Structure 1
Amino acid sequence: MITTSRHFKTSSRISYSNWYFLPSILSGMAGIIIGFAIACQLGWV
């Protein structure tokens, strides 16, 4: 029972970390793409 609850807590923590990091990664990629597009528009690249 104790190991089951501990395993459940660990798995829920991992899933929470994934749901926390996934939007930050996506927003970071979007920011890089937008920044690259703006740099191309301004002729920096």
Structure 2
Amino acid sequence: MWYKEFSAIFKHHLKKKLSMEIINYVLFFSLLTEITDTIEITPIFTFQP
């Protein structure tokens, strides 16, 4: 059945995409913590109005 093939391909691509996004998030957050540790600022996300 074409549906089974399609779902298998879709799952494979989804898994690959998801793992890449997770890796990107991990790299981003480690970079962010490195930057904040170097500069030693209080949380970047608290902006003063």
TM-score range, shorter chain: 0.7 to 0.9
2:20 & 2:34 partners in 1: Cα distance? Answer: 22
The TM-score, its normalising length taken from structure 1, stands at 0.83
Report the counterpart of residue 7 of structure 2 in structure 1.
7
State the identity %. Answer: 2
Q: Which segments of 5 or more consecutive residues in structure 1 lack a partner in the other structure?
A: none
Q: Which segments of 5 or more consecutive residues in structure 2 lack a partner in the other structure?
A: 42-49
Question: Could you say which structure has the higher helix fraction?
Answer: 1
RMSD (Å) for aligned C-alpha atoms: 0.8
Q: What code does the residue aligned with 1:35 have?
A: I
Runs of 4 or more, structure 1, over 4 Å off, are: none
